[in-house]
């Protein structure tokens, strides 16, 4: 399989009068191209590329990506909705053997061909490690800075913040039985309580990373949350977009580098696809990812997304007569498939 090679356009320079301003005088946030819906065609570990029947894998996904369903998810679009497809390859949490024994030049063409046969071609192929180590800076670390914990009622600050512990919760944890309370006796057991619960609590305590600073191992749930933010086009660093799909410098995918780390973080595999980022995301995933995606929604409810980027998407959607929810988690939809 071959993919198109982009030609870079030379920048044009035009004479203009010099205008001097303080660098902080003008707030500027870049805009990114947006599709109506970004469809995730699954999340595969590298070892899955050897053990999975890829034809059956994509055949089961295909019925969920038909045009009528995408139009319904996109909202009241004028004309045919802009839909892009993507797939996330986990080259981060596997073993060293899983990355060494499977060459990108062998695995990627086979993956793209199987999707094509099922009628759900992949427009963008992403590597999970690319969310951790990206040439413009780690997206995982960028989102960490934006974490804003949701403290339960009556919190006294005795527990270290999420940025120190690496644990994020959606409510009040059970006290340690026998621990001495301030100005009181020893604590007895009491149940955990979810913030903003409806009648009964569904309490979650999510590990975002393990290991010391500088040697962190980010959790699957946390990187999946970063992945959702990237697809929704709301990540910015100093006002600039942070993740741009790349076309391989080689036209023949079989000639991709042997090292997965040399493959672009997001590889554009389709010819003139709709934009990678979108107003909404739709993910077709194996049922085993249900706990992960539940944790993703908990994490994203406590991320302070760049307000300018958030406003841009709402404004641009309104210009297309699409009502877009203000909350990020309300822009995400799922289908979970059984075994």
170 in a structural domain: no
Across 7-16, 39-48, 163-172, 255-264, the highest mean pLDDT is recorded for 39-48
Task: Judge contact between 167 and 205, C-beta under 8 A.
Answer: yes
101 in a structural domain: yes
210 in a structural domain: no
193 in a structural domain: no
What was the pLDDT predicted at 25? 43
Lowest mean pLDDT across 26-35, 101-110, 312-321: 26-35
237 in a structural domain: yes
Q: How many domains does the chain have?
A: 1
| 225-239 burial code (b ≥16 CB/10 A, e <16) | bbbbbbbbbbbbeee
Q: For the chain, what percent of residues have pLDDT higher than 90? A: 55
289 in a structural domain: yes
230 in a structural domain: yes
175 in a structural domain: no
Nearest to 38 by CA among 101, 102, 86, 95: 86
Q: For the chain, what percent of residues have pLDDT higher than 70? A: 82
Task: Judge contact between 113 and 3, C-beta under 8 A.
Answer: no
Directed axis angle between helix 290-300 and helix 220-231, to 10°? 60
Residue 75 domain boundaries: 35-145+217-337
- State whether residue 193 is helix, strand or coil: strand
Determine the average pLDDT of the residues in 6-28: 44
Across 2-6, 21-25, 96-100, the highest mean pLDDT is recorded for 96-100
How far, in Å, are 24, 86, 158, 167, 291 from residue 27 at the CA level? Answer: 7, 32, 37, 33, 39
Across 31-40, 74-83, 155-164, 255-264, the highest mean pLDDT is recorded for 31-40
Q: Per residue in 176-185, pLDDT tens?
A: 655 555 555 5
What was the pLDDT predicted at 176? 62
Distance between CA atoms of residues 235 and 239, nearest Å: 9
* Beta pairing, strands 124-127 & 266-268: antiparallel
């Amino acid at each position: 399989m071959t993919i198109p090679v982009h030609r870079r356009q030379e920048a044009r320079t035009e004479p203009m009068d010099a205008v001097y301003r303080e660098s902080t005088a003008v707030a500027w946030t870049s805009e990114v191209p947006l599709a109506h819906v970004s469809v995730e065609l699954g999340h595969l570990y590298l070892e899955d590329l050897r053990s999975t029947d890829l034809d059956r894998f994509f055949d089961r996904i295909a019925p969920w990506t038909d045009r009528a369903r995408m139009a319904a998810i996109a909202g009241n679009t004028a004309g045919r909705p802009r839909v892009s497809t993507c797939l996330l390859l986990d080259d981060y949490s596997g073993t060293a053997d899983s990355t060494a024994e499977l060459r990108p030049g062998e695995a990627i063409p086979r993956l793209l061909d199987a999707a094509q046969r099922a009628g759900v071609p992949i427009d963008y192929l992403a590597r999970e490690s690319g969310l951790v180590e990206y040439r413009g800076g780690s997206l995982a670390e960028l989102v960490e800075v934006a974490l804003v914990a949701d403290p339960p009622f009556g919190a006294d600050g005795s527990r270290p913040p999420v940025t120190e512990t690496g644990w994020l919760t959606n409510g009040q944890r059970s006290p340690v039985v026998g621990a001495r309370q301030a100005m009181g006796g020893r604590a007895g057991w009491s149940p955990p309580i979810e913030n903003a619960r409806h009648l009964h609590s569904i309490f979650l305590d999510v590990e975002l990373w393990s290991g010391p600073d500088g040697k962190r191992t980010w959790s699957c749930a946390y990187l999946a949350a970063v992945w959702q933010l990237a697809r929704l086009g709301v990540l910015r660093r100093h006002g600039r977009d942070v993740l741009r799909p790349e076309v391989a410098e080689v036209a023949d995918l079989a000639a991709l580098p042997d090292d997965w780390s040399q493959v672009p973080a997001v590889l554009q595999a389709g010819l003139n696809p709709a934009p990678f980022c979108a107003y909404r995301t739709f993910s077709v995933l194996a049922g085993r990812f249900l706990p992960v995606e539940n944790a993703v929604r908990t994490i994203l409810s406590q991320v302070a997304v760049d307000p300018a980027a958030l406003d841009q998407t709402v404004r641009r959607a309104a210009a297309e007569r699409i009502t877009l929810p203000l909350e990020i988690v309300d822009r995400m939809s799922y289908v979970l498939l059984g075994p």
